[in-house]
Structure 1
Amino acid sequence: MQRSALAVPKYQVVFEALRRDIESGRLPAGGRVPSEAELVERFGASRITVGRAVRDLQLQGLVERRVGSGTFVRRPPATAAVDCTFGVLVPDLPDIEIFEPLVQGLLAAPESRGHAFLWGGGEPAPAARAAAAWSRVQQYIARRVDGVFLAPLEGLAAGDDTNVRIVTALDAAGIPLVLLDRSAYPYPRRGPYDLVGIDNRRVGFAVTEHLVQAGAKRVAFLGSEMGVSTIDGRRAGYREALDVLGADTTLARLPLPSPDDRDAVAAYLASHAPDAVVCAHDRGAARLMHTLLALGRRIPDDIRMAGIDDVEYAGWLPVPLTTMRQPVAQIGEAAVAAMLERRAHPERPARDIFVQCSLVVRQSCGVRAH
C-alpha cells in the first residue's frame, strides 16, 4: 500500500505518545523514561527515530539526559508560577548542526528559570518549513507570548518573503523578537531587531587569514550562492582578507561548485588550481573533503582546508578539520539575557550581540597545533 503524503512522521508519533505519558503522569516527574531499546520494541521504530523523539522532548524541557543513568522526566520548578512564556522557532534544526546545542543552551540558561518555552520548528521536509513556521508564528501571536526567539529560515526560494512576513507580524502584534544566528534580511541588511550570534564577516576574515599565513597562495571559497546571510557575511570576510593581505583574489569571484559533483569539482581544480579552500561551514567541508580524497588530492599537501562551526564530527573526518569554533551554548544563554533586557527596555536601539569564536587547529590546514 502506498503511504499517504499526509502521514505523520514516525518520530512525531513517538514524541506525542511520550508527551501524553508525561502530561498525564503515567511517566511521573523524576521518573525514568524507557530506554531506547524498550521504545524501539514498543513502537516498532528504529533507534534513529526514537532518538529524535527523545531529543525533541529534551529540547522542549520535558526530559533531561543524565550521563550513565538514562533519560528522566524533568521535575517542575518549585513554584508553579511562570513569569513569561516565550516562543522558540528554529525551522532548520534538522539540517544545521549548531542549532540543537544552541537551543539547549537557551533552555538551560540560568535566566531561563521561571519562564516557559513553547517549541516550534524541526519539520523534516525543507519544502514544508516555511508554511509550518508561518503557522507556528500565528499560534504564538494568538497566545500572546511574551517574546519570540527566531532563527530565520535559510535557502528560501527567490521571492519567498516568509522571514520578513514573520518579523513584521510579530512587530504588528507588539511581541519582542530576538534573532538567533542570522538576520531576517539579506546580508548586509539587519533590520530593527536584536541579533545574537557570531560576527560572520570577521570569522570569514580570520579563517582566510590563517590559511594565507600558513602558506596558501590561491584560496577558493565554498558556500551556497542562495543568499544565506551567514554565508554571505563569511564570504565578505574571506574577500576582505585576500585584499588586506595582498593575496591572489582571482578565485574570489569563482566559487567552487557543489562538493557532491565530483566531475565539476575536478574541472574546477584543473582550471583554477586552488591550493586552499575556505568552507563556509563544516558540513560543506566534510562533503568536499571526501570528494577531494576520491579525486586523489592530498589534504593538506595539495589543498589546505578550513571550515567554520566546529561541529561534533569535525575532528573525526578522514583528515581532522581546522575550523572556527562557535560557542553555540553561550549564544543561547546570551539570547535569553537579550530578550529579558529587551522586555525591560523596549525603547533601546537594536543590538548585534556577538559571541567570540576561537580557531581550532587540526591537520587539514597543514599547521601543527601548538
Structure 2
Amino acid sequence: MLNQKENFKTIYNYLKEDIINGVYAFGALLPTQEEVAQRFSVSRPTISKVYLALQENGYIRKKRGYGNQIIFEQPSSKAKYIIGLLLPGAGESEIFSVINDQLLHLSEEGDYNFLWEGTAANNAQTRRSMIEFWCKDYIKKEVDGILFSPVERIKDSNQINIQICNEISKANIPLVLIDRDIVTPPERSKYDLVGIDNFNAGCIMAKHLLDAGCEVVHFFYRPCSASSVDLRLSGVKDTVLKNNFLFNNQNIYCGDPADIEFVKSIKIDPGKTGIVCANDSTAAVLISSLDSIGYKISSDVLICGYDNMRYSDHLKFSLTSYEQPCKEIANISVELILRRIKNKKLMPVKVNLEGEIKIRESSIFQ
C-alpha cells in the first residue's frame, strides 16, 4: 500500500501521465473511482480528490450518468487515417487488453490514429448500452475505418451486431471484424475477419484430453456465447468421433458454471472424463463448482479452457489453456483495415491464426 502522505500526489501524477501519454485517449472514460481505489489500495475519498484535481487542471470532465471523460487532446499529428475502435475493454476481456495495448503501440509508429471511445466498457452489459452511441459517433466523425469485435453474452447480441455492421456499411466505412464473425458457421459475413482457427483449436483440446486418457469428453459453455464457440465445439466433436468415442448432445452443456444444481447434472465417469470449456473464465468457475460438490480435478475429471488468462496458472488447480496470438491479431487487423481503406472493392479475407496450448495440472491425471 502507498504511504498515506504520498497517495494523492502519486496517484494524480500516475493518471496524469497516462492521459498525457495517450493511455487514456481523448473522449475515453477513466476507470471508476471504486476500481482505481481498489487498484491502489486507498480510500475512495482519496480518489475523489484526485479526480477533482484532474478536472480542475483540464484533463477530464465529469458527465452525469456516464463517467469521467478525457478532454485532454494530444497535439495534432500528421495522421493520414483515423480508425475507430469498437472493442471490449480490459475489464471485459483480458485478450483485448493485450490487443488494445498492441494497437496503441502500432499507432505510435504508423501514419494513422485510433479513436478509443469504443474500448471504454469493462463489461458486456455496459458495452451493449453504449455501442450504438459509439458507432454513430464514429460515423458522424467520418472515420476512415472501424475495427469491431462483435458483442457477446447478451440475449440480443446477434441482432445488435448485424445492426452495427449495417450502419457502418451504409456509411461506406471500411470494417474489419476481430476475434469472431457476426453470423453462425457455416455462414460467413461479407467483412474481413481476423482471429484464431477456432475449429482447429477445438480439435487440439479434444485430442489433448483423449491423449491424457479421457474416454468421455464434454463441452461446456455459457448461453449467448459468440460464434467462435460454435466452431470450437465443432472441432471437439469432430476429433472425438474420429477417435471412435461417443459425442452427441448429451456431451454438450450450456449453462451457468456457478449453478451447482446444473453442474451436478454433468455426467462424470471418474478417471475417464474431460471437459473442454469455451474459455478460461468459464473453466475457473466450473473447477470451483465441481470441487465444492466433491469431484477432484486431475483425479476424477480433467478440465481445460481458452485464452490463457493471467490467473490460469494461479488457480487451486492450474488450468490448461489455449493461448491466442493477441499481438499478431492486432498487427493483422491493422494491415487488413489499411488494405480495405485503400481498396474497398477487394474480396473479403478471413485470417485464421494458430495459438498454443499451455498444458498444466488441470488436464493431467494424477
Q: Once superposed, what is the RMSD of the aligned Cα atoms?
A: 3.5
1:88 aligns with 2:85: yes
1:311 partnered with 2:312 = no
Residue 99 in structure 1 maps to residue 99 in structure 2: no
In structure 2, the CA distance between the partners of 1:203 and 1:157, relative to structure 1 (3 Å rule), is same
Partner amino acid, structure 2, of 1:296: G
Question: Which residue of the partner structure matches residue 115 of structure 2?
Answer: 118
User: Taking structure 2 as the reference length, what is the TM-score of the superposition?
Assistant: 0.77
Q: Which amino acid aligns with 1:249?
A: F
3-state DSSP class of the match of 2:83? strand
1:116 Cα deviation from its structure 2 partner = 1.3
Separation in structure 2 between the aligned mates of residue 265 and residue 45 of structure 1, nearest angstrom: 46
- The answer (yes or no) to whether the contact 2:299–2:365 under 8 Å persists in 1 is no
Q: Do structure 1's residue 282 and structure 2's residue 267 form an aligned pair?
A: no
Q: Is the 8 A contact 2:280 2:312 kept in 1?
A: yes
- Paired residues for 1:249-288 under 5 Å: 249-250=247-248, 253-255=251-253, 257-269=255-267, 275-288=273-286
Q: What's the secondary structure of 2:176's corresponding residue?
A: strand
8 Å contact 1:188–1:229 — kept in the other structure? no
CA distance, structure 1, for counterparts of residue 300 and residue 249 of structure 2: 17
Q: CA deviation at 1:252?
A: 5.2
Structure 2 regions of 5+ residues with no counterpart?
1-11, 22-35, 61-69
1:345 is displaced (CA, Å) by 3.0
Q: Alpha carbons of 1:137 and 1:245: their partners in 2 closer, same or farther (altered >3 Å)?
A: same
In the TM superposition, what is the alpha-carbon distance from 1:109 to its structure 2 partner? 2.5
Distance 1:328 1:39 in 2: 35
Q: What's the counterpart of residue 67 of structure 1?
A: none
Alpha-carbon contact 1:361-1:367 (below 8 Å) kept: no
SS in 1 for 2:253: coil
Paired residues of 1:152 and 1:184 also in contact (CA < 8 A): yes
How many equivalent pairs are there?
319
Q: CA deviation at 1:344?
A: 2.4
Deviations 1:258-307 (A, max 9, x none): 21012321232469997110011000000011111112211111101111
Deviations 1:211-241 (A, max 9, x none): 0111100111111242521111111111111
Matched, 1:44 2:41: no
1:344 aligns with 342
Deviations 1:26-72 (A, max 9, x none): xxxxxxxx9957996643389xxx9xx99xxxxxxx9xxxxxxxxxx
TM-score scaled by length of structure 1 = 0.76
Matched with 1:229 is 227
Query: What letter corresponds to residue 154 of structure 1 in structure 2?
Result: E
2:310 counterpart SS class: coil
1:291 lines up with 2:323 in the alignment: no
Q: Judge conservation of contact 2:302–2:365 (CA < 8 Å) in 1.
A: no
2:146 to 145, 148, 169: 148
Q: Unpaired segments of 5 or more residues in structure 1? A: 1-13, 24-33, 55-61, 63-72
Between 286-295 and 104-113, the greater mean CA deviation after superposition? 104-113
Instruction: Letter of the 1:86 partner, please give it.
Output: I
Match of 2:29 in 1: none
Give the secondary structure class of the aligned counterpart of 2:265.
helix
- Structure 2 CA distance, aligned partners of 1:222 and 1:20? 39
CA 1:339 to 1:251, structure 2 compared with 1: closer, same or farther past 3 Å? Answer: same
Q: Where do residues 5-84 of structure 1 align in structure 2 (5 Å cutoff)? A: 22=20, 36=40, 42-44=46-48, 80-84=77-81
Contact 2:217–2:251 under 8 Å retained in 1: no
User: Partner residue of 1:359?
Assistant: 357
C-alpha offsets along residues 302-322 of structure 1, whole Å, 9 cap, x if unaligned?
Answer: 101111111111111111111
CA contact (8 A) 2:153 2:223 kept: no
CA–CA distance in structure 2, aligned partners of residues 215 and 22 of structure 1: 54
- Work out whether residues 186 and 227 of structure 1, in 8 Å CA contact, stay in contact via their aligned partners in 2: no
Question: Match of 2:31?
Answer: none
Q: Percent identity?
A: 26
**CA gap 1:96/1:279 in 2 versus in 1, 3 angstroms:** same
Distance (Å, rounded) in 2 between the aligned partners of 1:190 and 1:45: 50
The code of the aligned residue for 2:87 comes to: V
In structure 2, what is the equivalent of residue 211 of structure 1?
A: 209
Find the aligned partners of 1:362 and 1:21 in 2 and give their Cα distance.
38
Contact 2:151 2:157 in 1 (8 A): no
Cα pair 2:323 2:358 within 8 Å, conserved: yes
